[in-house]
Amino acid sequence: MSPTLLQEVSDHHALAGAKNASYAHSDPLSEIPTLSGVDISADGSTPIIDMEALLGPRRSEAIKQIGLACEKNGFFAVKNHGIPEMKINNMLDTAREFFHLPDEERLKFRSADPDSVIRLVTGFQDKTRNVFVSRQSLKFHCHPVEEYKGHWPSNPPSFRENVGEYCESVRKVEVAILEAISESLDLERDYIDKILKGHYVSINYYPACQESELDVTHGVRTHTDPTLITILMQDDVPGLQVINDDKWINVNPIPNAVVVHVGDILQAISNYRYKSLLHQAIVNCEKERVSIASYCYPSDDAMIGPAKKLIDEVHPAIYKDFTYREFHESMWRVKCSTAKRLDLFKPSSD
């Protein structure tokens, strides 16, 4: 066992009962979390965007703030997003009810095919890293809702209605935020919306810490999302951590706000001006946690290279042109760290 892993092990035991335990990270790209006794209550400063400002005379100021947050932080929180509080609460309640169902009800949705329209992924043991990854997630397509609804669980009975309503509301936020992001890059307002296909939802459920024969229990390991943007709704239990200035910071829940992450595809379109956010979720030893991630992705044939307007002598193209289909296929074909997925599309890697 490497010294780093040994260090993780002993730190993990020291922190086992800690509330909202955090991880420090010596090398953010190594994807192997190093546990240490950093300030466990610290909440990094989350840029907050008021979405109402996008609708009025403060629009250009709000767009500037969004651009700055994408460039400097890779994420921001959005308040006044227009998703009714009741729809959020219904979605979270439904998610909890689904994950409290007996195994046989939930496991019907288990599938190893990453392209299936719905699939349940259970917690698993990564023995190569001595890590137990405790997240269970139900992942499904949801745009347009009517096309996919029939594939969703009918138990709990409220599932289709509550999830459908949430997905339709989130779609409006997606479109509006992507318009603002396009403008923040000085591109036409619909530059990104024109290639947007839909979103794919992952209902993430993290049981309160479980016993595992492995040494480290992690909610979700460090990764970037293969998306344009991800819109994340968290319940009131902290767990999300992001890399900021090479350090892990907590992004604690803000009531009724969603968190927007820059994803890989936006990193490519922006010619590496906006960087895909490295993030992870930690487990909480006292409470279960639920988060709802909406992954916005483009249509298969959409060309994803850097926007031509963002390429010049000072900013040469960091990536070749490629389709979303090529990117998606390479994700499953080539085993590499998620933060390196886009390297395959650099001009020199023919």
Ligand X SMILES: O=C(O)CCC(=O)C(=O)O
Catalog residues that contact ligand X under the rule CB under 6 A. Answer: 202, 204, 220, 225, 232, 234, 239-240, 279, 281, 291, 293
Cβ–Cβ contacts within 10 Å for residue 88, how many? 20
Question: Which residues lie across from 141 on neighbouring strands?
Answer: 200
Q: How far is the CB of 270 from ligand X (least distance, A)?
A: 20
Rounded distance, CA 243 to CA 245, Å? 7
User: Which partner in ligand X, Fe ion, none is near 291 (CB below 5 to 8 A by kind)?
Assistant: ligand X
Q: How far is the CB of 79 from ligand X (least distance, A)?
A: 18
Of residues 11 and 225, the one with the C-beta less far from Fe ion: 225
Q: How far is the CB of 33 from ligand X (least distance, A)?
A: 14
Of residues 191 and 324, the one with the C-beta less far from ligand X: 324
Is 225 an interacting residue with respect to Fe ion (CB under 5 A)? yes
Question: In this chain, which residue has its C-beta nearest to Fe ion?
Answer: 225
User: Which partner in ligand X, Fe ion, none is near 263 (CB below 5 to 8 A by kind)?
Assistant: none
Rounded distance, CA 323 to CA 300, Å? 7
Check: CB of residue 290 under 8 Å from CB of residue 235.
Answer: yes
Rounded distance, CA 282 to CA 275, Å? 22
Of residues 95 and 187, the one with the C-beta less far from ligand X: 95
Rounded distance, CA 134 to CA 131, Å? 9
Q: How far is the CB of 131 from ligand X (least distance, A)?
A: 16
Q: How far is the CB of 85 from Fe ion (least distance, A)?
A: 24
Q: Is 112 helix (H, G, I), strand (E, B) or coil?
A: coil
User: Is 69 buried (19+), middle (13-18) or exposed (0-12) by CB count in 10 A?
Assistant: buried
Is 215 an interacting residue with respect to Fe ion (CB under 5 A)? no
Rounded distance, CA 47 to CA 71, Å? 12
What does the DSSP 8-state code read for residue 277? P
Residue 202: closest CA among 136, 266, 146: 136
Q: How far is the CB of 294 from Fe ion (least distance, A)?
A: 11
Is 264 an interacting residue with respect to Fe ion (CB under 5 A)? no
User: Which partner in ligand X, Fe ion, none is near 240 (CB below 5 to 8 A by kind)?
Assistant: ligand X
User: Which partner in ligand X, Fe ion, none is near 69 (CB below 5 to 8 A by kind)?
Assistant: none
User: Which partner in ligand X, Fe ion, none is near 136 (CB below 5 to 8 A by kind)?
Assistant: none
Q: Up-side HSE of residue 313: CA atoms within 13 Å toward CB? A: 0
Question: Which residues lie across from 48 on neighbouring strands?
Answer: 77
Residue pointed to by tokens 């917690």: 123
Q: How far is the CB of 279 from ligand X (least distance, A)?
A: 5
User: Which partner in ligand X, Fe ion, none is near 271 (CB below 5 to 8 A by kind)?
Assistant: none
- Residues making up the chain, counted from first to last: 350
User: Which partner in ligand X, Fe ion, none is near 202 (CB below 5 to 8 A by kind)?
Assistant: ligand X
Of residues 234 and 271, the one with the C-beta less far from ligand X: 234
Check: CB of residue 76 under 8 Å from CB of residue 66.
Answer: yes
Total residues in contact with Fe ion, by rule CB under 5 A: 1
Cα angle for residues 310, 312, 314 (degrees, 5° grid):
110
Of residues 263 and 298, the one with the C-beta less far from Fe ion: 263
Of residues 35 and 121, the one with the C-beta less far from ligand X: 121
The contact set with Fe ion (CB under 5 A) reads 225
